[in-house]
């Protein structure tokens, strides 16, 4: 089973020394108020519980419909800004429908997976493995393939950090970067939707 990524971090504070020459044990201890060992143990226990959960249940506890709601909120911010920039003439060469079309594809794919889960025999381990593969593709394909993990370790389109994220696209003042990142985000979402429904029709044919 593939797990795309696991990131444990504070909700508000960021680690200021990440990616710099000052990223060492002393600064980490300072950042954690000298509780690095305690926090490491807690993180390891949490990751262990997640691994046990993944290995125990036949079906992964990932509700793809919730991603649709998170995506809707993120895209609303981006779309609002795009509309204003297009109206003012500051942004050219993009379409308002790029992200809405990609969102529609994602929502339809998520709906297909949810329907398949409802109509499947979840006591059948083979069926669950196929559905789990589809669920894991959601996470895997929301990691932008257009940025290097070296430059942007957190490549997730919604939950990551960097110019490729929807949050950054909604705020960037560089029009050329906005245009490029908007196109890449659209392709990422379209690719994710396509990957999500890859084998889903084969599963439904067996029901």
Query: Helix, strand, coil: what percent of the chain each, to 5?
Result: 60, 0, 40
Q: Compute φ and ψ for 4, nearest 5 degrees.
A: -65, -50
The stretch 168-192 carries a mean pLDDT of 93
Report, as an integer, the average pLDDT of 84-90: 92
pLDDT at 90 over 50: yes
Domains and CATH numbers, the chain: 1-56 (no CATH), 58-206 (1.20.930.40)
- Out of 3-7, 150-154, 186-190, the most confident range is 186-190
pLDDT of 27 above 50: yes
- Name the average pLDDT for the chain: 83
Lowest average pLDDT, out of 46-55, 91-100, 195-204, goes to: 195-204
pLDDT at 200 exceeding the cut of 60: no
- The answer, yes or no, to whether residue 11 has pLDDT greater than 80, is no
The confidence score (pLDDT) of residue 57 equals 66
Q: Quickly list DSSP for 147-196.
A: S-TTT-S--BTTT--STTSHHHHTT---HHHHHHHHHHHHHHHHHHHHHH
Taking the model in full, what pTM does it have?
A: 0.72
């Amino acid at each position: 089973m593939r797990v795309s990524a696991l990131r444990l971090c504070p909700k508000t504070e960021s680690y200021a020394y990440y990616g710099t020459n000052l990223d060492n044990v002393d600064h980490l201890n300072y950042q954690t108020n000298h509780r690095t060992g305690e926090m490491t143990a807690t993180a390891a226990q949490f990751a262990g519980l997640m691994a046990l959960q993944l290995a125990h249940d036949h079906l992964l506890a990932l509700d793809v419909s919730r991603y649709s709601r998170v995506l809707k909120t993120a895209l609303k911010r981006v779309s609002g800004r795009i509309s204003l920039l297009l109206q003012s003439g500051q942004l050219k060469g993009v379409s308002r429908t790029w992200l809405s079309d990609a969102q529609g594809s994602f929502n339809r794919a998520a709906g297909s997976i949810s329907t398949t889960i409802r109509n499947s025999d979840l006591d059948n381990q083979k069926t669950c493995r196929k559905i789990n593969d589809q669920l894991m593709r959601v996470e895997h394909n929301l990691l932008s393939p257009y940025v290097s993990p070296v430059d942007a370790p957190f490549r997730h389109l919604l939950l990551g950090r960097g110019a490729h994220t929807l949050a950054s696209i909604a705020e960037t003042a560089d029009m050329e970067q906005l245009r490029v990142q908007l196109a890449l985000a659209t392709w990422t979402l379209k690719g994710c939707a396509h990957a999500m429904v890859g084998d889903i029709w084969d599963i439904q044919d067996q029901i």
